[in-house]
Amino acid sequence: MQTNNRLFSLLFVTFLLTGCEERFPVYASFCTQEKAPSLSCLRYPLVEPQDKLLLEEALGFKEDPACPYYLKLTKYKIGQCNNPVVKSTGSDFEGYVRLEILKGFTCYYKIQSDYKLDRDAAFKRVLEQTKIDLKLKK
């Protein structure tokens, strides 16, 4: 009987943990329909050091200060929004993580994923999809 209780408890905890995983979609696109060149370098200005390490590892580009392409990372929480319509109607998500690769002011690639409670999971989704997209571009 005690073995059954332990098994039930383990299954219940597993069910709870897997049921809480956020499954927000990832929206990604290369910004131009033209044949854009594949990236050979990247800069990471204004990116937190811990995020920069994750980005360099996932994307496979060490920082190159002379590179014309740079990465812009935005981690936005809606609680910072002062729009009365948004505040009164609520939202299905709490914020988003957006990554953009730009050359000057021209967009090369952008990707975004929303999150409800787990911003780190959204960042991980964005990194994984970006890694796939940039490899396909090579």
Give domain limits for the chain.
Answer: 24-137
Over 50: is that where the pLDDT of 17 sits?
no
Distance, in Å, from the CA atom of 45 to the CA atom of 101, rounded to the nearest integer, reads: 11
Q: What is the pTM of this model?
A: 0.72
| Per-residue pLDDT at 19 | 46
- Number of helices (H), then strands (E), in the chain: 4, 4
Closest CA to 39 of 26, 27, 48, 30: 30
Q: Which residues contact 128 (CB under 8 A, 6 or more apart)?
A: 58
Q: Which two tokens stand for residue 99?
A: 């990554």
Rounded to a whole number, what is the distance in angstroms from the first to the last CA of the chain? Answer: 58
- 103-126 pLDDT tens trace: 999 999 999 999 988 999 999 999
The DSSP 8-state label assigned to residue 46 in this structure reads T
Strand order through the sheet with 69-77: 26-30, 106-115, 95-103, 69-77
